[in-house]
Amino acid sequence: MTRSRIPKSVGLALLCILALLPGSSDARLWIGAQIGANFAANTDVDVNEGGTLTTFQSVKVEPSVIGGLTLGYDFVREGFLGYNWPDWMKYFSFATDFTFNRFDMREQFVTTVREGEVEMRFFPTRNSGDEPTGTRVEGTMAVWSLLFIGKYGFFPDSDVPFGRLQPYVAVGPGIMFSSLQGKFMGENLGSDSSVDIALITEAGVRYMALKNVSLDVAFRYRFGSPKYSYQVEGEPLTVKLDANQFTALFRAAYHF
């Protein structure tokens, strides 16, 4: 079996196993897996070398695959960990999840601003000959999210009294763990990491395929502003950027 087929096979097998497990008709604790496509908006990359700031403008970030796990709870009286919540709280949920994706930037020709001078240079280097060097910047983004969810149910039945089709919106903070390595300003800087606060919003639709198995399609936006610090011959060099990321997600979850 090829490597690319392994995640699909494992996910299908997991979904089949979960579907066969017993569950309550109004289950409220859920755990699942998610996968999707992640796109980042063009971003300005600020490189501060010894107090001199060079801004690479509108740097393109490569699309990437994103994956992760999710754990959530619906505020209702039924199901595992059910509690005597007020009836109106059935329209709300809480979830926490963890996602991981690449954040890479290929070499590209961009506008730079350095000490007021505007030039066209290759990112991530600033070579005087304006020739490509084949370098690239490689990064990773791992985000732990805390989401507060509002939802509404349509098409209720005996198995899913709240409704099989559940559009929802979610918002909350997150912690972004990221790393970046590459060759900036002609110097191979190695790798550095950053931990930052992130903002996450999401809109999606959940479909209860079975009374204890749900399938979600969602669109997520994340924002974080990481900063990385390096040393070049004893002098500090910092790299700062804004990470505006847009994600299309597919999620499958089992409800207890």
**pLDDT tens readout for residues 154-187:** 999 988 989 999 999 999 999 999 999 987 766 7
Q: Are 133 and 127 in contact (CB under 8 A)?
A: yes
State the DSSP code for 158: S
Peptide bond before 124: cis, by omega within 30 degrees of 0?
A: yes
Spatial neighbors of 32 by CB under 8 A, at least 6 apart, are 69, 70, 72, 214, 216, 251, 252, 253, 254
Q: Which residues contact 127 (CB under 8 A, 6 or more apart)?
A: 121, 133, 186
- Whether the pTM exceeds 0.85: the reply is no
For the chain, percent of residues with pLDDT exceeding 90: 62
What value does the mean pLDDT take over residues 242-255? 97
The dihedral over CA atoms of 13, 16, 18, 24, expressed in degrees to the nearest 10, equals 180
Q: What is the pLDDT of residue 18?
A: 40
Q: What is the pLDDT of residue 17?
A: 40
Mean pLDDT, rounded, for 58-65: 97
Radius of gyration of the chain (CA): 22
The Cα-based distances of 173 to 12, 33, 163, 192, 232 in angstroms read: 31, 20, 28, 23, 34
pLDDT tens-digit profile of 75-101?
876 656 556 778 888 999 999 999 999
| Alpha-carbon span 165 to 154, nearest angstrom | 5
- Which one is predicted more confidently, 185 or 62? 62
Question: pLDDT value at position 10?
Answer: 41
Output phi, psi for 200, to 5 deg: -130, 130
* pLDDT above 50 for 218: yes
Question: In the prediction, which pLDDT does 51 show?
Answer: 85
pLDDT level of residue 213 (50, 70, 90 thresholds): very high
Among 84-93, 185-194, 235-244, which range has the highest average pLDDT?
235-244
At residue 128 the predicted structure's pLDDT band, cuts being 50, 70 and 90, is low
Strands 213-224 and 187-210: what pairing?
Answer: antiparallel
- The pLDDT-based confidence of 68 (bands split at 50, 70, 90) is very high
